[in-house]
């Protein structure tokens, strides 16, 4: 049973259409609306995948960071995502509360960010025990900083790609 192809598809199939003709026949496609739930799912999935990669790079290259297995690194990444979201939300709320007093704002934000590293170490120890070790304070500080930095870099690249797509639609292919 043969299926009829539109003229342009059959031309492509039998090789009679040129590459220039193919690119000139681009059609705009309506992008479906993204729901809030989809955006949250995408954000968490992206962050967890970034955290898994960064965690496993730390496991590979830092003798202080030990994770017994790859599945444990996924669970550790999820736990770190939850903890860092809570910490960053708390830090933003405290910064808003002390918006008028810059000295108190800086002090309390610093206190939250400093003490949160101990919180992360303790939570990881409670949840995973001896199967996961993130090192000492400075190891966790460097790990958390790297996780947030890589996440920001990926977000910057993603946003940059969106801007270049809007300004240069002829590049898309």
Residue 66 to residue 63: CA distance in whole angstroms: 7
Which pLDDT value is given to residue 164? 73
Which pLDDT score, from 0 to 100, does residue 51 have?
Answer: 93
Is 55 in contact with 73 (CB distance < 8 Å)?
A: yes
pLDDT of 3: 47
pTM, two decimal places: 0.69
The predicted pLDDT at position 33 comes to: 84
Whole-number pLDDT of residue 20: 53
Query: Cα 152–90–67 angle (5° rounding)?
Result: 60
∠ Cα 134 111 140 (to 5°): 10
Q: What is the pLDDT along the chain (173 residues), one digit of tens a residue?
A: 444 444 444 444 455 555 555 555 555 566 678 899 999 999 999 999 999 999 999 999 999 999 999 999 999 999 999 998 999 899 999 999 998 999 999 999 889 988 888 888 899 999 999 999 998 888 888 998 998 899 999 999 988 998 876 655 555 55
Q: Measured between alpha carbons, how far is 114 from 4 in angstroms, rounded to an integer?
A: 67
Question: Can you name the residues that pair with 133 across neighbouring β-strands?
Answer: 66
Predicted local confidence at residue 137, as pLDDT: 84
pLDDT recorded at residue 136 = 87
Residue-level pLDDT at 53:
96
DSSP secondary structure of 62-82 = -TT-EES-HHHHHHHHHHHHH
């Amino acid at each position: 049973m043969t299926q009829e192809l539109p003229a342009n598809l059959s031309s492509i199939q039998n090789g009679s259409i040129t590459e220039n003709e193919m690119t000139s026949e681009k059609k705009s496609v309506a992008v479906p609306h993204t729901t809030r739930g989809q955006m949250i799912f995408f954000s968490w999935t992206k962050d967890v995948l970034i955290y898994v990669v960064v965690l496993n790079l730390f496991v590979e290259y830092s003798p202080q960071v030990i994770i017994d297995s790859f599945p444990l690194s996924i669970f550790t990444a999820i736990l770190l995502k939850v903890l860092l979201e809570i910490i960053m939300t708390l830090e933003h709320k405290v910064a808003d509360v002390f918006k008028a007093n810059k000295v108190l704002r800086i002090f309390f934000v610093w206190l939250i960010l400093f003490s949160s590293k101990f919180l992360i170490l303790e939570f990881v120890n409670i949840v995973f025990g001896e199967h996961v070790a993130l090192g000492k304070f400075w190891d966790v500080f460097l790990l958390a900083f790297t996780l947030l930095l890589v996440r920001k870099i990926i977000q910057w690249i993603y946003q940059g790609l969106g801007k270049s797509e809007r300004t240069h639609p002829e590049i898309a292919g």
